[in-house]
């Protein structure tokens, strides 16, 4: 019997996309862990896997030794509370930090390949740059509790010496099909599409920082298909360890993103700039740009989707058709 692949957060955005891509490559010996809801389940339809379990039950089984003899090849740990505004700091610690520590210890002890999701939110304002070199970890200052919970685990893994055995991936602004369940945390591609369909206008936040005009705040947006290809690079190349950025290295403005959505719909851009809510002003990132040298030096050589092409595909092939990744083989 083949060893299984565990994907936590496997019904979520990046997790279900990993399962989709593994299926395309003929791999279905997959065990999905998540916390299902009335929307997220749709990401699983059409995917091939051998079992599903709720995340709390899975953790209890780990802690109680039920999985001590389970034959596991790889754990993709994508499960986490990814909201940047969730009000309970203790939940971030329990769900994002403590849960990941238990799962990591389980994997390292059994020499299971462990690939986990960190986040570009760990970089905060970017004052200290966006380098994924591990000797730069201590200087980072996340702006929100989500980013800090991810940063805590990165630091813990480094201090334990585990970054020489596991892989942490700092995902930048990922967008694409299968993110529909994420409510306010969906990408702005989806939000712009919905605003255009409803009112023929897109509302963007005004800028409150010198050097940035309204709508010219810059983010490193990466299409889900690129993010998954980069993730599986570390599944295929088991000699690689440490922390790596998952981005494009080419930031785009929110104006550019909105223009691309309007273009996809064959409409003239119509943008209204609105005040930014007070509760996010102090944690708003005006600029992100992944340093990609480390990933490319590791041997990754896949061509990244052109920004406008990716948004056009997403809008026409998925959002407007209400389609998911599993609705297509490629």
* Burial zone of 173 (CB within 10 Å; 0-12 exposed, 13-18 middle, 19+ buried): buried
- Annotated catalytic residue: which of 99, 116, 123, 146? 146
Q: 75 with 103: CB under 8 angstroms? A: yes
| Annotation says 146 is catalytic | yes
Q: How far apart are CA 91 and CA 94, in angstroms?
A: 5
- Annotated catalytic residue: which of 165, 182, 191, 263? 182
**Is residue 54 helix, strand or coil?**
strand
Pairing of strands 218-219, 252-253: antiparallel
Q: How far apart are CA 262 and CA 266, in angstroms?
A: 6
Q: 274 with 204: CB under 8 angstroms? A: yes
Q: Which two tokens stand for residue 70?
A: 């389970």
| Annotation says 92 is catalytic | no
* Burial zone of 224 (CB within 10 Å; 0-12 exposed, 13-18 middle, 19+ buried): buried
- From the centroid of its chain, how far is CA 313? 19
Q: Which residues are catalytic?
A: 146, 182
């Amino acid at each position: 019997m083949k060893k299984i692949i565990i994907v936590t957060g496997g019904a979520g955005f990046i997790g279900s996309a990993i399962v989709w891509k593994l299926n395309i490559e003929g791999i279905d010996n997959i065990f999905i862990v998540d916390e299902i809801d009335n929307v997220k389940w749709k990401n699983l339809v059409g995917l091939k896997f051998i079992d599903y379990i709720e995340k709390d039950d899975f953790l209890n089984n780990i802690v109680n030794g039920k999985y001590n003899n389970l034959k596991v090849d790889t754990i993709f740990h994508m499960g986490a509370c990814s909201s940047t505004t969730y009000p309970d700091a203790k939940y971030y610690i329990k769900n994002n930090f403590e849960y990941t520590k238990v799962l990591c210890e389980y994997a390292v002890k059994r020499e299971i390949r462990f690939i986990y999701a960190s986040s570009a939110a760990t970089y905060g304002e970017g004052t200290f740059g966006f380098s994924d070199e591990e000797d730069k970890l201590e200087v980072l200052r996340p702006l929100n509790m989500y980013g800090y919970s991810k940063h805590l685990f990165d630091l813990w893994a480094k201090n334990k010496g585990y970054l020489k055995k596991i892989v942490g991936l700092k995902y930048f602004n990922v967008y694409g099909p299968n993110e529909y369940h994420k409510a306010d945390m969906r990408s702005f591609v989806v939000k712009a599409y919905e605003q255009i369909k409803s009112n023929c206008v897109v509302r963007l936040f005004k800028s409150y920082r010198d050097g940035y005009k309204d709508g010219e705040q810059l983010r490193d947006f990466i299409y889900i298909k690129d993010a998954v290809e980069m993730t599986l690079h570390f599944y295929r190349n088991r000699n690689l360890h440490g922390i790596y950025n998952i981005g494009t290295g080419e930031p785009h403005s929110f104006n550019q993103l909105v223009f691309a959505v309007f273009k996809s719909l064959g409409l003239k851009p119509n943008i209204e700039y609105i005040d930014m809510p007070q509760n996010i002003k102090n944690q708003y990132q005006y600029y992100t740009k992944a340093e990609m040298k480390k990933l490319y030096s590791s041997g990754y050589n896949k061509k990244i989707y052109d920004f406008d092409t990716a948004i056009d595909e997403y809008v026409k092939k998925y959002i407007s058709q209400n389609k998911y990744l599993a609705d297509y083989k490629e």
